[in-house]
Amino acid sequence: MVYSTVVSNKPADPLEPLSYRDMATPLGDLRLVASPKGLRGAWFTDQELLPAADGWTHTESDPILEQARRELEEWFAGKRQGFDVALDPVGTTFQHQVWHALCALDFGKLTSYGDLARTVGRPKGAQAVGGAVGRNPIIIIIPCHRVIGADTALTGFGGGLPRKQALLAHEGNRYVSRNPRARRVCDGQAELPW
């Protein structure tokens, strides 16, 4: 995966050309957003953090958006476990450290906020890591759904706990409840939940 780092504490340049398209998934529609350098964002269209599309160009022909759409369809179909699309998220240096660490997680591998904090060299920074995970602008491809509590609790997810539960089940991790305190019940063969 190519990760083009844009480190900024400010919003993205409003004059930068951004393209977007929506795609249907088994878990609801996703909005994909691309800069000229890579995928800038991927959000479920009902997420609170979905930015307004003001100034973006709607297109079905952008090559980055098309690659992201194709790879996500393959992932949902069980034909892909990783992504190759170039990424261009905007965030702080610390957020990028956390997002890079998330990208290094293998398909089906889970981590806790504390373990992720240790991975990025901030062993007492689990809460800060939680904030960076919660601001992940590229859902699924930067796999924030793989972060759970130290006790295997489901915890939260910007796309909603039903979606997190389904994404984890797709990767072989079972939760029988959508309660944030629900614990993982087993690791098993991945079965498509949809």
Domain boundaries, the chain: 93-171
Is 115 a residue whose pLDDT tops 50?
yes
When the candidates are 1.10.20.10, 3.40.190.10, 1.10.10.10, 3.30.450.20, the CATH number that belongs to 93-171 is 1.10.10.10
Which band of pLDDT confidence, cut at 50, 70 and 90, is reported for residue 189?
very low
CB 129 within 8 A of CB 122: yes
Q: 85 and 141 in contact (C-beta within 8 Å)?
A: yes
Is residue 94 over pLDDT 90?
A: yes
Catalytic residue among 65, 86, 98, 144: 144
Per-residue model confidence (pLDDT) at position 177: 64
Task: Return the pLDDT at 15.
Answer: 73
| CB 137, CB 90: distance < 8 Å | yes
Q: What is the distance between the alpha carbons of residues 26 and 17, in angstroms, rounded to a whole number?
A: 29
Contact 45, 139 (CB under 8 A): no
What is the mean pLDDT of the segment spanning 58-78? Answer: 97
Tens of pLDDT, residue by residue over 62-71, are 999 999 999 9
State yes or no: is 186 an active-site residue: no
* Residue matched to tokens 């997420």: 47
Average pLDDT (89-102) is: 95
Question: Contact at 8 Å (CB) between 77 and 94?
Answer: no
At residue 178, the pLDDT reads 64
